[in-house]
A and B are shown apart, each in its own frame.
Chain A
Amino acid sequence: MPPAASKDVFRAVADPTRRRILDLLAESEQSVGELVLRFSMSQPAISQHLRVLYDAGLVGRHREGRLKKYRLRPERLRRVHDWSAHYAHFWTDKLGALGRYLDKPDH
């Protein structure tokens, strides 16, 4: 029941390469070049993965000299892994809908 705001996060971490990138960024900040050394992938491919993670709000970046460094932004992960929180909203909605259904006069 992920709310719309979380869907990009789910999409982003559905890919094993991107999960591995996040694992590495959890260890320390990395530049694209440093990340490329850890994968058998081209720099454009890694950059593309970083873009998806960045758009999902899972990584941040800043300049360090002429390098762009990427770092993990862990806040969003906490929100999406907690399924019970999603269901709390879900049932609040549904039990309200049940009330409206019962209030209709035709049954």
Chain B
Amino acid sequence: MARTLVFDVDYPHPPDRVWAAITSSAAIGEWLMANDFAPELGRRFQLRAKPMPGWSGIVDCEVVELEPPGRMVWRWKSDHIDTTVSFTLVPTPTGTRLHLVHDGFRGPRGHFVSWMMRGWKGILRKRLHGVLERFETIVEGTALTPARSCR
């Protein structure tokens, strides 16, 4: 039951400029979250946002692949998930395509999410037979979000 999010975004800027924006702590702080990132293989760092009920606001990351100037992979752990995020840059005639894959959403993690999952499935079995099939498809299908562009 793993899900993968895939995004392809075209930016009208050369790859070295996009690479700089995803491998500089200051830049990441502007477009993603406050952080103590450094572009070093094996670097452990945190991304921090404002906490809210249900989410600590902290993502523990590690640079697990670093191949300038086109590919970087982070391990991405937060409250209920242990996932990976990969950034791949591909030059295009008009600039750069960023291919981002957030992989490894393996469903229930931790007592909270597993309780919800068990609860939900139990409820469906008992009371919502028609909806069950549809829900299973949504959760267990490979949910690829369509490639999208921000401009």
Contact = CB atoms under 8 A, between A and B. Distances in A.
Contact of A13 (B11, B13, B22, B115): B115
B145 A72 contact: no
Given A94-B31, A99-B151, A26 B126 contact: yes
Contacts of A100: 31
A102 B139 CA distance: 35
Contacts of A80: 54, 116
B21 A74 contact: no
A4 B145 CA distance: 22
Interface of B: 3, 5, 7, 9, 11, 13, 17-18, 20-22, 27, 30-32, 52-55, 80-81, 98, 100, 102, 105, 108, 112-113, 115-117, 119-120, 122-124, 126-128, 135, 139, 143, 145, 148, 150-151
A78 B11 CA distance: 35
B53 A7 contact: yes
When A and B form their complex, which 4 residue pairs have the shortest distance between CB atoms, in order from nearest? A10-B54, A84-B105, A97-B31, A81-B116
Contacts of B30: 97, 101
Contacts of A6: 54
A7 B145 contact: no
Interface in A64-101: 72, 74, 77-78, 80-84, 87-88, 91-92, 94-101
A59 interface: no
A95 B30 CA distance: 12
A80 B32 CA distance: 22
22 contacts: A2-B55, A10-B54, A11-B53, A13-B116, A23-B119, A72-B123, A74-B124, A81-B108, A82-B139, A84-B5, A84-B143, A88-B145, A91-B7, A91-B102, A92-B148, A96-B150, A97-B31, A97-B32, A98-B32, A101-B27, A102-B13, A107-B17
B21 A98 contact: yes
A1 interface: yes
A77 B148 contact: no
B143 A95 contact: no
A22 interface: yes
A84 B123 contact: no
